[in-house]
A and B are shown apart, each in its own frame.
Chain A
Amino acid sequence: MAYRYNSDLTRDDVTPREVYLNRRQIMMGSGAMLGAGLIGGAAHAQAVAQTGGAWDLTLNSLEEITTYNNFYEFGTGKDDPARYARALTTAPWEIVIDGMVDNPGTYSFDQIMEGMTVEERIYRLRCVERWSMVVPWNGFELADLLNRVGVQEGAQYVAFETAMRPEEMPGLAYPIIDWPYREGLRLDEAMHPLTILATGIYGEAMPNQNGAPIRLVVPWKYGYKSIKSIVRITLTDEQPRTAWNTYSTQEYGFYSNVNPNRDHPRWSQAEERRIGGGLFASRIPTLMFNGYEDEVASLYAGMDLNEFH
């Protein structure tokens, strides 16, 4: 049975929501302080609370999270996934895990979930299109799964693939990108504790339009890296082909780390708009690595982030 790991737990059983939010807010405030250099932590946290900047971790509503989606397999309109994704059969679900692993094979969703601890992670999500949300994901660390299947010596990358079912996904009829949707991470990115495979939102099963039944979430990268409805995970020693990078290397790099200092060729990435602010919402500054600089900057030490974008 799916979701047995969190079916009897709510966020309130783990940490009261307000406490959790506040703790995250303070953490993020101090992280941003290091980035800014001079501003005092407390003063900064206060400023954030007042301006509702990108540090603000007020959750987006389930309605917002489930009605404004990019999932081009169901169409390019933001409301297409909410309209059409119900056709996706999510049970039974299988994931092929292959390549440089000790235990390759086809794993059922239940087998994948065996022994995994599902926990809540409240992450910012920054889309390459300059909008953002704060989502309470439920999931487990990708590292736990990779360790269980056994990553072989020499593996350097992890490649992912989304389901490709033309009969359930009307968007596949159009050559928007070279289907199936593919993504990839460097192994150290994949093993990073922030990287999770998510199976739910707000303590409920993952909505189809958000990538049911299981999807990647890499919060310091643009949203399209967080591939949905995964059917294949491959360990490899070569940098994998990824969907948007194949479409345009210039516009969508392999790394795709959120970076306010490197513009998309067609638009600036310095700012973003948090979904939920209505017709008169202000833009807010985008944070380096989407605010997770303290946690992940060391992964890219010495790399030119403009070249390896």
Chain B
Amino acid sequence: MTDTSSIRGDGQTWVAPLNGALRRVPVWPLYVIGAAWGGWLFWLAATGGLGVEPIEALEHRYGQLSLQLLVAGLAVTPLRKLLGINLMKFRRAIGVLTFFFLLAHFLVWAVLDVQTASAIWADILKRPYVTIGMAGFLMLIPLGLTSNNWSVRKLGGAAWRKLHKLVYPAAVLGALHFVWLAKGFQIEPLIYLGIIVGLLAIRFWPALGFGRR
């Protein structure tokens, strides 16, 4: 769908060699590194490596990693269109890991932090920052489940792409979730929100000249 004239990085001499190098990097190590990183953090938390309040620390680390990977996944298309850097083949792995860490974040929250089913339910219903976090998580479940070739074939490319647009509202909800739970006026969550809104604006703002067509 992209004609080369819309790719602004064409003239950059370093882009072609970079893309060449990226083509030779296999994708599978990303899954291994991601899974190992999640397990390593859990082990650290269980053995005192994340400080004296490991439940909160682990919950925050998983949530933050998920948000960072979400940003990385949303940056793939703008990077290609703005600079011509092609990370397309890594995008599924980034998305699957986003979901992996989000699931881990949810499980630490539900099982280790809140602990009882009734309290989990009460929090989801009564606490807006939990409600929107939960909404974002629910939106990403079908995306996680269909991140495989079989699903793409089964759904057809158009329907699959349409479904995966759910990542846009989910990303905004994830950032708002982070902003909302902060105590006092804190900069860091607002930076995440700003980056995510910025990345979405690049996609959807026709004035920027590389919106969807």
Q: Which residues of A approach B to under 8 Å, CB–CB?
A: 63-64, 67-68, 72, 76, 78-79, 129, 131, 174-177, 247, 266-268, 271, 273, 275-276, 278-283
Chain A interface, >50% SS class: loop
Q: How distant is B45 from chain A, measured CB to nearest CB, in Å?
A: 5
CA distance A63 to B115 in the complex (A): 26
Q: Which residues of B approach A to under 8 Å, CB–CB?
A: 45-46, 48, 51-56, 58, 112, 115, 119, 122-123, 126-129, 180-187
Q: How distant is B117 from chain A, measured CB to nearest CB, in Å?
A: 14
Q: How distant is B1 from chain A, measured CB to nearest CB, in Å?
A: 43
CA distance A78 to B183 in the complex (A): 12
Q: How distant is B122 from chain A, measured CB to nearest CB, in Å?
A: 7
Instruction: Report chain B residues within 8 Å CB of A72.
Output: 184
Contact status B187-A174, CB under 8 Å: yes
Partner of A279, one of B54, B126, B183, B187: B54
Instruction: List 27 A-B residue pairs with CB atoms under 8 Å apart, sorted by A's residue number.
Output: A63-B52, A64-B52, A67-B52, A68-B51, A72-B184, A76-B182, A76-B186, A78-B53, A78-B56, A129-B183, A174-B185, A174-B186, A175-B185, A176-B185, A176-B186, A266-B181, A268-B122, A268-B126, A271-B119, A273-B55, A275-B53, A279-B45, A279-B46, A279-B54, A279-B112, A280-B112, A281-B55
Say yes or no: A79-B51 contact (C-beta < 8 A), given A268-B119, A282-B115, A283-B115.
Answer: yes
Say yes or no: A276-B55 contact (C-beta < 8 A), given A267-B127, A268-B123, A282-B115.
Answer: no
Instruction: Report chain B residues within 8 Å CB of A267.
Output: 123, 127
Instruction: Report chain B residues within 8 Å CB of A278.
Output: 46, 48, 54
CA distance A160 to B55 in the complex (A): 33
CA distance A175 to B184 in the complex (A): 8
Instruction: Report chain A residues within 8 Å CB of B183.
Output: 76, 129
**Given A177-B184, A247-B184, A278-B46, 16 extra CB contacts under 8 A:** A64-B52, A67-B51, A78-B51, A78-B53, A78-B56, A129-B183, A174-B186, A175-B185, A177-B185, A266-B128, A267-B123, A271-B119, A273-B53, A273-B55, A279-B55, A279-B112
Chain B interface, >50% SS class: helix
The 7 residue pairs across chains A and B that have the minimum distance between CB atoms? A176-B184, A64-B52, A279-B54, A279-B46, A68-B52, A279-B45, A177-B184
Q: How distant is B204 from chain A, measured CB to nearest CB, in Å?
A: 31
Q: How distant is B74 from chain A, measured CB to nearest CB, in Å?
A: 26
CA distance A267 to B123 in the complex (A): 7
CA distance A129 to B185 in the complex (A): 16
Instruction: Report chain B residues within 8 Å CB of A175.
Output: 185
Partner of A276, one of B52, B119, B122: B52
Instruction: Report chain A residues within 8 Å CB of B181.
Output: 266
CA distance A165 to B65 in the complex (A): 34
Instruction: Report chain B residues within 8 Å CB of A176.
Output: 184-186
CA distance A72 to B186 in the complex (A): 10
Partner of B53, one of A131, A271, A282: A131
Instruction: Report chain B residues within 8 Å CB of A68.
Output: 51-53
CA distance A268 to B55 in the complex (A): 17
